[in-house]
Amino acid sequence: MHAFRFESLTLPPEAEEMRRKVRAFLQEERDTGRYAAHRTSWSTFDPEFSKRAAKAGFIGMTWPKQYGGGEYSNLQRFVVTEEMLAAGAPGGAHWIADRQSGPQILKHGSERARQLILPKIAAGECYFGIGMSEPDSGSDLAAARTKADKVEGGWVINGTKIWTSNAHRVHYLIVLARTEPLSENRHAGLSQFIVDTSSEGIEIRPIMNLSGGHEFNEVFFKSCFVPDDMMIGKPGEGWTRVTGELAFERAGPDRFMSDIRLLVELVDKIGREPNERQAVEIGRLAAHFATLRRMSSSIAGLLERGESPVTEAALVKDVGTAFEREVPEMVRKLLPIEASLDDDDEYSQAMAHVLLHAPSFTIRGGTPEILRGMIARGLGLR
Ligand SMILES: Cc1cc2nc3c(=O)[nH]c(=O)nc-3n(C[C@H](O)[C@H](O)[C@H](O)COP(=O)(O)OP(=O)(O)OC[C@H]3O[C@@H](n4cnc5c(N)ncnc54)[C@H](O)[C@@H]3O)c2cc1C
């Protein structure tokens, strides 16, 4: 049976140096009033913030310089990610491109796609969305029915994607489509494509979320042409490519720090003399947080060694998002307040922001049932 190893990792001096750099950048952003940490998070879409973060060198950090990257290590990138989250920075415009689409193109895209797209992502000017889920294919991605037919010079896509975050404001989607008819091996015959959202044959319709905001979309492809060199990998490799992309998506600190600002506000509000219950619960949450951080940084170490820790990433995503869901519940018990986005009080605002988004934390990027199935398989239990 396979056993997990989450090796302890001591961050090297250059990672700590990077921490000082990103903290100074974020401090200046807050001091000049460019964002309000208690109301924003990694999914807040703010292109101007992304452009400034890129200028400071915080996007595409690990990529080669020839594609606009900084040639930093995964550990230096890890530090920047956790500092952005701790500061509640609004990195939503570049987040997906930096976290998964760019690395996917770098690893498996054509040379033209690399040269055309990666420098723009690293400049904070090009954003991506994820075209995986379909109306009848969310958890069961292999059931995807969107299809791509071969034509001269490329492929023609027909089908529908759903829950596509930010499709209405990103430049590209990475779309999973069937390039061969469904066969007994459901994982065969799928391929991934980089689709320009300004192409002909794409219609994007909004779906409002719980807080009344427009993040989600339904995306219709009607004979949408994609050139050959915008395929990721080779025809039929889609299943391997998409599971690799999900490993980038699941292991980072964004899977346990989405509402960390609320915890910080709670600790500030309680002050230096907590009652016994408050001390016990805050201590427990802090211990969970430290464990998650160790697991996630250990995965950054595996990535640095060129490994693809798919099962470990599923574990971090499952345990991490359960932690994120627990934070508002615990906060509500320890220091009850009337939560409102319109309140002057930052704690009340932070609570309202989290309450409206927390239900999605365990769904986006894979539900607990699916992740636990993957973990069981990784452990050789099924
Ligand atoms: C905030 C947010 C942002 C999102 N952004 C994107 C995006 O940008 N791009 C994108 O492609 N998708 C996106 N999604 C979609 C997300 O990935 C799916 O919602 C998720 O994978 C679940 O799929 P589903 O909604 O079809 O639910 P279903 O797959 O229908 O699942 C419904 C329930 O059944 C359970 N279930 C399903 N199969 C099994 C099984 N085999 N065994 C046990 N239980 C099972 C699930 O755990 C779940 O509880 C987003 C979702 C959210 C909430």
Q: Which atom of ligand 1 is nearest to the CA of 167?
A: 8
| CB < 8 Å & 24+ apart, contacts of 291-297 | 292/256, 292/316, 292/319, 292/320, 292/323, 293/82, 293/253, 293/256, 294/6, 294/8, 294/9, 295/6, 295/319, 296/78, 296/251, 296/252, 296/253, 296/255, 296/256, 296/320, 297/9, 297/11, 297/75, 297/78
Length of the chain: 382
Say how many Å lie between the CA of residue 371 and the centre of ligand 1. 11
Question: Which residue spans within the chain are E strands per DSSP?
Answer: 128-131, 147-151, 154-162, 172-178, 190-196, 202-208, 214-227, 231-232
Q: How far apart are CA 311 and CA 202, in angstroms?
A: 34
Q: What are the phi and psi torsion angles at 190 (to 5°)?
A: -105, 155
Nearest CA to ligand 1 atom 13: 163
What's the gap in Å between 275 CA and the centre of ligand 1? 40
Mutate to test the pocket of ligand 1, among 363, 371, 372, 374 (most ligand atoms within 8 A of CB): 363
Instruction: Count other C-beta atoms under 10 Å from residue 107's C-beta.
Output: 15
Strand bridging mode 128-131 / 172-178: parallel
Which class for 241: exposed (0-12), middle (13-18), buried (19 or more C-beta within 10 A)? buried
Show pLDDT as tens, one digit a residue, over the chain (382 residues).
577 888 888 899 999 999 999 999 999 999 999 998 878 889 999 999 999 999 999 999 999 999 999 999 999 999 999 999 999 999 999 999 999 999 999 999 999 999 999 999 999 999 999 999 999 899 999 999 999 999 999 999 999 999 999 999 999 999 999 999 989 999 999 999 999 999 999 999 999 998 888 999 999 999 999 999 999 999 999 999 999 898 888 889 999 999 999 999 899 999 999 999 999 999 999 999 999 999 999 998 888 888 878 899 999 999 999 999 999 999 999 998 888 888 888 888 889 889 989 999 999 999 999 999 999 999 999 8
pLDDT at 328: 94
Query: Rg of the Cα trace of the chain?
Result: 21
Please report the pLDDT score of residue 1 as a whole number: 53
CA 98 – CA 127 distance, rounded (Å)? 9
What pLDDT does 307 receive? 83
CA 78 to CA 11: how far, in whole Å?
10
Q: How far apart are CA 24 and CA 2, in angstroms?
A: 42
Q: Which pLDDT value is given to residue 16?
A: 96
The rounded Å distance from CA 171 to ligand 1 centre is 24
Q: What is the pLDDT of residue 346?
A: 84
Please name which of 234, 154, 215 lies closest in space to residue 360, comparing C-alpha atoms.
Answer: 215
Ligand 1 atom with the smallest distance to the CA of 139 is: 29
**What pLDDT does residue 157 have?**
98
Ligand 1: residues with CB < 6 A are 129-133, 138-139, 163-165, 360, 363-364, 366-367, 369-370
Ligand 1 geometric centre to CA of 364 (Å): 7
Please report the atom of ligand 1 found closest to the CA of residue 132.
11
Residue 159's DSSP bridge partners are 221
SS3 call for 29: helix
Give the residue among 212, 229, 59, 41 at the shortest CA–CA distance from 127.
59
